Amino acid sequence: MAELSRSVISAVNWAEVGERMIIMGAWTDSIRHEFEASGAQVIPVEAAHAEHAAALREPTRSKGLSLADRICFALAASRDAAVMTADRAWTEVDVGVEVRLIR
């Protein structure tokens, strides 16, 4: 996936990735190193991202988006970037961020 080399993920969303990998029995101590070696970055959540995510509660509530989902949208908006997800519900909200389905 070519997009991975220039991707960022918030530390909050990285925690979700880690949790899923642990559940699947696929977590290793080198996962983040391997991820970042591809050119992708895990970045901290800033106060502005948190505030934007809070403001997205109402426009995303009907689709059941979580705080972590909204953090992802806020981070993308701050970088004028698209979000990539497998969650089709994200395509049904209009928060000013392009949504690209990965499957």
Assign residue 23 the CATH number of its domain.
3.40.50.1010
What is the pTM for the complete model shown?
0.91
Q: Are 45 and 10 in contact (CB under 8 A)?
A: yes
Percentage of the chain beyond pLDDT 70 is: 99
pLDDT surpasses 90 at 16: yes
Give the per-residue pLDDT at 1: 58
Count how many domains the chain has: 1
pLDDT digits 0-9 by tens, 19-48: 999 999 999 989 999 999 999 999 999 999
Q: Are 31 and 21 in contact (CB under 8 A)?
A: yes
Residue-range definition of the domain harbouring residue 52:
2-101
CB count within 10 Å of CB 56 equals 22
pLDDT surpasses 90 at 62: yes
Is 22 buried (19+), middle (13-18) or exposed (0-12) by CB count in 10 A?
A: exposed
